[in-house]
Structure 1
Amino acid sequence: MKRLLWLWLLVMGFCLQAKSVQAQFRVVGYLPAWRGDINPAQLAQLTHVNYAFVHPTATGGLEPLQNPDKLRRLVKAAHAAKVQVLVSVGGWHDGDHSAFDSIGANPALTSTFVATLVRFAQEYQLDGIDMDWEHPDARTASGYATLMQQLAAQLHPQGKLLTAAIAGGTWAGPGIASSVFESVDFMNIMSYDAPAPTHSTYADAVQTLAYWKERGLPVSKMVLGVPFYGQPGGVAFTALVAQGADPKADSLSGIGYNGLTTIKSKTNLALDQASGIMIWELSQDALGSNSLLSAISQEVQCRKPVKSQVRQPPK
């Protein structure tokens, strides 16, 4: 009887420790302005949601926000679910980062842009800013670092977050100075969009986390990005399943994606070696038992820490 009681207490201890991990583990989902609905069931499984995107102008302003009412409704729904809301600034934008380049090269424009973003966060009652400059390089690294430093100096005293989306590949390293690591609360590492069809493998995720750790990014600020779509073509996971894709596999007719098995493996990798997992993007998920977000949640909810070992009870 004592042995059974001891084992029960040990298992409960594992679950409590796992729930502590869960409480600290970030699940970050991007919601595009141009598609997808605000889904309470999805919000319940997130810690942060990023509204994508608002675009900068070359003079330090912002282009008109697409679907501003949708952002307001998202903020209301997310805050009711105790989920933090950020706006993501930039995005791929067809590879055009000239506005960022202009801002970063000019101290006056940098200051203007910082003030613009702070006002935007206040107007929409946001919890922070997610900087998605795709991508600074060696030439623009200094301007990017200055921008992030000034944003942090304005946002953090207001209790607001500053995060960044950064590329998963090592080629992006020269554009991210180590000083940026001090400015951000965490970084969403986009470990996807390598050459198709193997654009986001488990091995790639391992490699990119190792790279950024070697660069000095603290594990507490690493968030592993995963795709809810396949390449080539950027085909949504839900569409692939509808076309007959095996939800547990990673390939359909030459299109590579992350199915349930790989997503679960990556979630456990993030639990072991990072501080969260990030999703591009929420509207691409499948429903019911094929939901990738639900698979992530299942792995996070209760798991044994990898380094824990069961000890024999004292006699």
Structure 2
Amino acid sequence: MDFPKLFIALFIFQVLLPSHMSIQAAPANSNLFREYIGAEFKNVKFTDVPINSNVEFHYILSFAIDYDTSGSTSPTNGKFNVFWDSDNLSPSQVSYIKSHHSNVKVALSLGGDSVGDGYAYFDPSTVDSWVSNAVSSLTYIIQEYNLDGIDIDYEHFHADPETFAQCIGRLITTLKKNGVISFASIAPFDDDDVQNHYKALWKSYGHLIDYVNFQFYAYDQGTTVSQFMNYFNTQSSNYNGGKVLVSFISDGSGGLTPESGFFTACNRLKSQNKLYGIFVWSADDSKGNGFLYEKQSQALLAISH
């Protein structure tokens, strides 16, 4: 091919490229702050938590679980019930906090570690029946509470990864399509079984998942800054293209703590344009120290990103 024809061919290829390929923009620094609330029944209220007006703030109610509430704690195949502290975190209190802070959104998290005295298992009868029940029951709760999104935090499974992926993926797809939610997140941690389930979900439905609330506090207590940075890079590879948020646990029981360099790691990520947000487990425990690290987290995020 002579030069003029080659030039024309390359020009046509460049013009047509966008219509044939979808190029996802890489995530960038964000001012997103998220906090789990209500799982431990310590009478914490939305209004207890300091809110910086210069961040995007998400409360995550913990948890809605597809188990019955009668005390026998049996799975209900996608029929979700409220298991958070609904006395202090009620629909009227959701409305109050959102009406007084335009930067606040409220989500609910599904599953969690335990229910009653046992584990909370993801335990569908069939994909179709679970999805149907989950869409119906969650739509009711989300609309009753005027919520904005969901978080997926199942940690124990009586189903294979592909079944989990189809159930959760179809649930998110339907809730978004119906306008019931505007965002969805997942909350995996570094455990082989957990990762197998969430990576299967990511592979098929990652394009519908807005945030990855990776539980970095599930790593060993005493994690160093350099270890944390390595963990972040590993999980960013596992959830390629996703907004992997960094995290700490209020009681200091695991991972990289604020006292040991968490904010140093955040600043390093910010300098690399990889600080996609911070989340905390949880407001229930942070109440005891006056939400000191929530204030620091939000101040760091509020600086121009």
Q: Is the 8 A contact 1:263 1:295 kept in 2?
A: no
Mapped pair 1:37 → 2:45: yes
Larger deviation, residues 261-270 vs 106-115? 261-270
The offset of 1:292, in angstroms, is: 0.8
- Name the counterpart of 1:202: 225
- Paired AA for residue 128 in structure 1: G
- Identical columns (%): 19
What amino acid is aligned across from residue 208 of structure 2 in structure 1? S
Secondary structure of 2:188's aligned partner? strand
Q: CA deviation at 1:77?
A: 3.5
Deviation at 1:270, TM superposition (A): 4.7
Q: 1:155 aligns with which of 175, 183, 187?
A: 175
SS at match of 2:33: strand
Cα separation, 2, equivalents of 1:135 and 1:270: 31
CA distance change for structure 1 residues 274 and 302 in 2, over 3 Å: closer, same or farther? closer
SS class of match (2:123): helix
Q: Secondary structure at the match of 2:79?
A: coil
Match of 2:285 in 1: 284
Are the equivalent residues in 1 in contact too, given 2:62–2:84 (CA < 8 A)? no
Number of equivalences: 253
- Counterpart amino acid of residue 211 in structure 2: F
In 2: Cα distance, 1:182 partner to 1:299 partner:
28
Could you tell me which runs of 5 or more consecutive residues in structure 1 were left unpaired when the two chains were aligned.
Answer: 1-20, 233-255, 306-315
Matches within 5 A, 1:1-315: 24-33=30-39, 34-35=41-42, 36-39=44-47, 42-44=50-52, 47-57=57-67, 58-59=75-76, 60-69=78-87, 70-79=89-98, 80-82=100-102, 83-93=104-114, 96-98=119-121, 100-102=122-124, 105-135=126-156, 140-157=160-177, 158=179, 159-168=181-190, 172-176=194-198, 177=200, 178-195=203-220, 197-198=221-222, 200-219=223-242, 221-231=243-253, 258-260=257-259, 262-271=261-270, 272-285=273-286, 287=289, 291-302=292-303
TM-score, normalising length: structure 2: 0.72
| 3-state SS of paired residue (2:150) | strand
Q: What is the TM-score normalised by the length of structure 1?
A: 0.69
Q: CA deviation at 1:90?
A: 1.2
Q: Which amino acid aligns with 1:55?
A: I
User: 1:227 corresponds to which letter in structure 2?
Assistant: I
CA-to-aligned-CA distance 1:253-295 (integer Å, 9 cap, x gap): xxx871346231233245332411110012333656x811121
Query: 3-state SS of the aligned residue for 1:28?
Result: strand
Give the Cα separation in 1 of the matches to 2:192 and 2:32.
23
User: Partner amino acid for 1:228?
Assistant: S
2: CA distance between counterparts of 1:260 and 1:87? 29
Superposed CA RMSD in Å reads 2.9
- Please report how far the alpha carbon of residue 74 of structure 1 lies from its aligned counterpart in structure 2 after TM superposition: 3.9
Higher relative contact order (CA 8 A, sep 6+): 2
Counterpart contact for 1:260–1:292, Cα < 8 Å? no
Corresponding residue for residue 21 of structure 2: none
State the Cα deviation string for residues 6-56 of structure 1 (Å, max 9, x = none).
xxxxxxxxxxxxxxx77x421111112412232355233651110111221
Name the CA distance, whole Å, in 1 between partners of 2:156 and 2:137. 21
CA drift of 1:191 comes to 0.5
Q: Distance in 1 between matches of 2:82 and 2:57?
A: 27
- The SS at the match of 2:267 is helix
Contact 2:153 2:187 in 1 (8 A): yes
Is 1:48–1:84's contact at 8 Å kept on the other side of the alignment?
A: yes
d(CA) in 1 for partners of 2:194, 2:227: 14
After superposition, what is the alpha-carbon deviation per residue over 1:194-227, rounded to whole angstroms, capped at 9, x for unaligned?
Answer: 34x32x54344323321222224324x2111211
Give the AA of the match of 1:27.
Answer: F
Relative distance call for 1:202 and 1:170 in structure 2 (3 A) is: farther
